[in-house]
């Protein structure tokens, strides 16, 4: 009976999804054609705008040809040049707007193609019949954003008009104080005006190609994987228990840590002060063991899939609040001494001048320097390290808090590797995929977003990324 209910629920969900896709297909198709209409309207309006100065000048020449009034108009080169330059730059702005509209239309077309593929795949027809009845594409990678045949003529039209106005504007600026005769202006036109205007013309195509490349490779996606350090790259449960025994004289089985922070675990008899004794010890961070295969897997992800690796960690330590001045001095002195010893150790082991850079910088806190040295010691290569500040749990973008949620939105991080179930759920609404590295403290019976993939090792993460790429 239970299986029958599950099948009915699944069938109902599939039916709802099909209805959603059909509605989405209809709405996006309308948006696509409205975007095309908007492009046409803007282009017509642009042609009207650029034709007004030419028409006005032609009328003045026909009315006042050979008179002193025409010479007076021509002598106003600087005010006219400002107007001409403004028209040319406004034309560039209109072009950029139309380019974005066109690429939005392509995005809509790609979405429609993906929906079309879904229904063609679901249809119980042989491939020969499908190919004969289907005319429009069903690939979400078509059409291309860079359209030489279709859109280059549009760019060329903008480039010609904008560059002519740009040429006349430069000419007016460069001939200030000279005769107002048109023949003299053309004869005394500086040579550099021509290459500058040609470069301005070609810049239209360069901007279009740049926008197309951005849309194809970076828009709505990025090749960045975010990685939490503690619990993902480190074996912190074992290290916590070892330091807890040493500093607080309490024994805890690492497998019994079923919640983070540990003081929230029932029946473990670990207080906030006990945690503080552990995290305030610099050896906790310096002697931390690394997860097996983490360094090798990250290197393969960077080299094979060309992903950038952004590392995240929240480490507000040492915490010397509510300590006496003597205690503060003792803790800070221990951190400074441990940092220098650790730095010398890493220098000898790696023989790299880069280590000097890791510890250099008066603005970096000791925990920041220790984190960078630890990563270098264990061969963990990355592109950016973000030491989180403020509240580490708030995903609200209005806070502008320097944490993994804000940065994931800012950099459009595609994948994220996390060990905290609560943070993984929040990141699932920001990133495409969140890999949840299984730990005793992230087990839950609650339903989680289906873009959270549970993994048991870094090798499994690599295989998942290979499958998704």
Give the pLDDT score at 17. Answer: 78
Residues 297-326 have a mean pLDDT of 94
Give the pLDDT score at 184. Answer: 55
Instruction: Give ∠ CA 366-370-376 in degrees, rounded to 5.
Output: 150
Contact between 415 and 223 under an 8 Å Cβ cutoff? The reply is no
Distance, CA of 97 to CA of 341 (rounded, Å)? 57
Contact between 446 and 464 under an 8 Å Cβ cutoff? The reply is no
Of the candidate ranges 24-33, 54-63, 155-164, 199-208, the one whose mean pLDDT is the lowest: 54-63
Please determine, for residue 193, whether its predicted confidence score (pLDDT) is greater than 90. Answer: no
Q: Which of 222, 411, 409, 405 is nearest to 314 (CA)?
A: 405
More confident site: 412 or 49: 412
Residues 278-303 have a mean pLDDT of 95
Per-residue pLDDT tens for 410-459?
Answer: 999 999 999 999 999 999 999 999 999 999 999 988 889 999 999 999 99
Give the pLDDT score at 171. Answer: 79
Q: How far is CA 268 from CA 21, 81, 241, in A?
A: 50, 79, 11
3-state secondary structure of 469: coil
Give the range with max mean pLDDT: 74-88, 204-218, 414-428: 414-428
Q: Please give the structure tokens belonging to residue 276.
A: 């503080």
Q: Buried (b) or exposed (e) across 346-379, using 16+ Cβ within 10 A?
A: bbeeeeeeebeebbeeeeeebbbbbbbbbbbbbe
Burial class (CB in 10 A: 0-12, 13-18, 19+), 338: middle
Give the pLDDT score at 8. Answer: 47
Give the pLDDT score at 57. Answer: 64
Please determine, for residue 405, whether its predicted confidence score (pLDDT) is greater than 50. Answer: yes
Residues 110-117 have a mean pLDDT of 89
Number of H helices, E strands in the chain: 17, 6
Q: How far is CA 318 from CA 51, 260, 333, 370, 451, in A?
A: 68, 19, 11, 12, 36
Distance, CA of 169 to CA of 79 (rounded, Å)? 10
Give the pLDDT score at 393. Answer: 77
Distance, CA of 414 to CA of 430 (rounded, Å)? 8
Residues 360-371 have a mean pLDDT of 85
Please determine, for residue 4, whether its predicted confidence score (pLDDT) is greater than 80. Answer: no
Of the candidate ranges 41-45, 77-81, 142-146, the one whose mean pLDDT is the lowest: 77-81
Residues 256-277 have a mean pLDDT of 92
Residues 205-234 have a mean pLDDT of 92
Distance, CA of 426 to CA of 414 (rounded, Å)? 14
pTM (whole model) above 0.75: yes
Contact between 293 and 459 under an 8 Å Cβ cutoff? The reply is yes
Residues in the chain: 469
Give the pLDDT score at 310. Answer: 98
Give the pLDDT score at 409. Answer: 92
More confident site: 297 or 218: 297
């Amino acid at each position: 009976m239970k299986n029958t209910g599950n099948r009915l629920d699944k069938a109902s969900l599939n039916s709802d999804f099909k209805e959603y896709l059909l509605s989405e297909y209809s709405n996006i198709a309308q948006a696509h054609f409205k975007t095309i209409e908007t492009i046409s309207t803007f282009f017509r309006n642009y042609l009207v705008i650029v034709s007004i100065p030419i028409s006005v000048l032609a009328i003045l020449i026909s009315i006042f040809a050979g008179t002193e009034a025409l010479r007076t108009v021509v002598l106003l080169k600087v005010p006219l040049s400002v107007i001409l330059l403004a028209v040319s730059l406004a034309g560039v702005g209109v072009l950029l707007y139309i380019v974005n509209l066109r690429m939005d239309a392509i995005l809509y077309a790609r979405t429609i193609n993906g929906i079309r593929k879904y229904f063609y795949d679901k249809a119980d027809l042989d491939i020969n019949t499908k190919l004969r009845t289907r005319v429009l594409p069903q690939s979400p990678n078509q059409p291309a954003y860079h359209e030489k045949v279709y859109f280059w003529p549009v760019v060329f039209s903008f480039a010609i008009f904008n560059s002519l106005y740009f040429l006349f504007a430069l000419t007016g600026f460069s001939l200030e104080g000279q005769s107002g005769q048109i023949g003299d202006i053309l004869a005394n036109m500086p040579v550099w005006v021509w290459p500058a205007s040609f470069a301005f013309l070609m810049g239209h195509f360069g901007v279009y190609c740049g926008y197309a490349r951005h849309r194809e490779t970076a828009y709505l996606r990025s090749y960045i994987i975010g990685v939490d350090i503690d619990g993902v790259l480190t074996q912190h449960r074992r290290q916590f228990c070892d330091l807890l025994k040493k500093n607080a004289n309490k024994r805890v089985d690492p497998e019994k840590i079923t919640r983070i922070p540990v003081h929230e675990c029932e029946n473990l008899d670990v207080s906030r002060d006990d945690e503080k004794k552990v995290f305030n010890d610099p050896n906790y961070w310096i002697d931390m063991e690394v997860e097996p295969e983490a360094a090798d897997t990250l290197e393969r992800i960077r080299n094979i899939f060309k992903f950038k690796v952004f590392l995240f960690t929240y480490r507000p330590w040492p915490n010397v609040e509510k300590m006496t001045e003597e205690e503060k001095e003792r803790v800070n002195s221990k951190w400074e001494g441990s940092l220098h010893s650790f730095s010398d150790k890493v220098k000898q082991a790696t023989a790299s001048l880069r280590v000097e850079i890791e510890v250099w910088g008066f603005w970096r806190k000791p925990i920041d320097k220790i984190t960078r040295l630890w990563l270098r010691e264990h061969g963990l290569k990355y592109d950016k390290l973000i030491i989180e500040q403020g509240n580490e749990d708030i995903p609200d973008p209005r806070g502008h808090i320097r944490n993994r949620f804000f940065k994931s939105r800012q950099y459009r991080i595609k994948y994220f590797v996390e060990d905290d179930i609560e943070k993984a759920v929040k990141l699932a609404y920001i990133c495409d995929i969140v890999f949840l590295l299984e730990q005793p403290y992230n087990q839950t019976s609650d339903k989680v977003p289906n873009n959270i993939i549970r993994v048991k090792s870094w090798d499994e993460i690599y295989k998942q990324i290979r499958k998704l790429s």
